[in-house]
Structure 1
Amino acid sequence: MTSTLTRTVRTATMDDLPGVARVLGRAFHNDPLFLWLFPDDMRRMSRTTRANALLAGFSYIPLGYSTLVEAREDADRGPVIRGAALWSPPSGENGGTAAALRSLPHWLELVGPARFPRMMRYFAALAAHTPREPHWHLQVLGADPAVGRSGVGGLLLNAGLERADADGAPVYLETINTANVGYYTRFGFEIVDTLAEPGTPLTHLMLRPPA
């Protein structure tokens, strides 16, 4: 088991992008979304890592609200990124249309022309189900499997929930992994809708009111 001397939650910057992509790639290697997007077992890790680099680098880290857990696990080594959370704020910012358009050729190359239209329909359906009221949107939350269930995800989630509560805003998220529903329920989230589009993963839409 990893021995952690200190763990710090801080805002992610573009300098952190490689570390954030690596940790999210490991966290989501066997996630149902990425199993659907990248069915090839041999290539899924690299493609999941690149997909998270696209999300983080084009759309979320530049906004200035995404966070990471930096752990100092050895007095003789520097800090290691052990988890990350990608957020968009109640203003509805998500990197902007220009950033999304710039990322599309990369997504097309990554998922391939056969799967790309299905991916776009799925994400369009998610966008259509997003609450209209101002809210913080937890886009991605992942912890390095190397640290197990050691509270990294909880540190990131609690930091975001405290910020949302200070704003008096609800927090919204989507999860495909049914096993995550119970986890988020412990933090005050409830399922408010379910997305069941033909040919796409069953997705639970969850909302937490401000405390």
Structure 2
Amino acid sequence: MSNIEITNLTKKDTDNVIEIFSTAFKNYPLMEFFFKDTYEQSMKHLLKSMCDEKSIVENLLLGAFLEEKLQGVAFITPPKLTTSNDNTESTKTASEEQFAIAIGEEALMRIEAYSNLKKTNKPSSPHFYINTLGVHPQSHGKGIGSALLSQVHQMSQQHSDSQGVALDTQTQKNVGYYQRFGYGISNTVKLENVENWFMFRPN
């Protein structure tokens, strides 16, 4: 099997990140809930906001390269931010404001409802949070997702404060996948018609 290289991505990788995530999450329940029939355009705005300089400085954007081509991406929030005061008001960046205008008020409200649900169900102890992990469909079964997860697990184990890694998923198939890596279900909550499984893997 070819070697998979995991590296930190930067803003210059935005176009490739958009390609990976847009393809990986097409017809995914949460994205359909967010964007309804405006998926293609809205997803691009969401991913551009995610690749904003401020976002990349505060979070981790990991890329998995197979034969020097980006095939998987994970967007992760480190312990300091996952345990910060959620009531603190932060100034919106220009890209965040553009994103809010581009997707419309209804989609923004659905995203905020999910964000609030996520805050309510995240672990109280310091942890890494995998917000999004996507693999290009043509590279499924090649160990891309496993390599990204292993990297985050290693980062958590080496971090002085982190107690583990948390994530959420919206498909039963993914639940079984993550359980094979040691994740347990901490809660299951429905957001309108979308089932959300919140999971945690202790170090």
Give the TM bin, normalised by the shorter chain: 0.7 to 0.9
Q: Give 1:200 deviation, angstroms.
A: 5.6
% identical equivalent positions: 23
**Contact 2:11–2:53 (Cα < 8 Å) also in 1:** no
Partner amino acid, structure 1, of 2:199: M
1:169 to 160, 163, 167: 163
Partner amino acid, structure 2, of 1:185: Q
Q: Give 1:107 deviation, angstroms.
A: 3.2
**What value does the CA root-mean-square deviation take over the aligned residues?**
2.4
Q: Give 2:76's aligned residue.
A: 87
Q: Give 2:101's aligned residue.
A: 109
Unaligned runs of 5+ in 1: 73-78
Residue range with higher mean Cα deviation, 151-160 or 113-122: 113-122
Q: Distance in 2 between matches of 1:26 and 1:119?
A: 20
Unaligned runs of 5+ in 2: none
Change (3 A) 1:181 1:144: same
Q: Give 1:140 deviation, angstroms.
A: 0.8
Q: Give 1:201's aligned residue.
A: 194
Partner amino acid, structure 1, of 2:181: F
Residue range with higher mean Cα deviation, 118-127 or 26-35: 118-127
Partner amino acid, structure 1, of 2:77: S
Instruction: State the TM-score, normalized to the length of structure 2.
Output: 0.85
- Confirm or deny that 1:57 pairs with 2:52: yes
- Confirm or deny that 1:31 pairs with 2:23: no
**Contact 2:187–2:198 (Cα < 8 Å) also in 1:** yes
Q: After the TM superposition, which segments of 4 or more aligned residues of structure 1 sit over 3 Å from their partners?
A: 96-104
1:91-113 deviations in Å (ceiling 9; x for gaps): 1269x954655454333234322
**Contact 1:175–1:204 (Cα < 8 Å) also in 2:** yes
Change (3 A) 1:104 1:39: same
**Contact 2:79–2:128 (Cα < 8 Å) also in 1:** yes
Partner amino acid, structure 2, of 1:36: F
1:45 to 40, 44, 48: 40
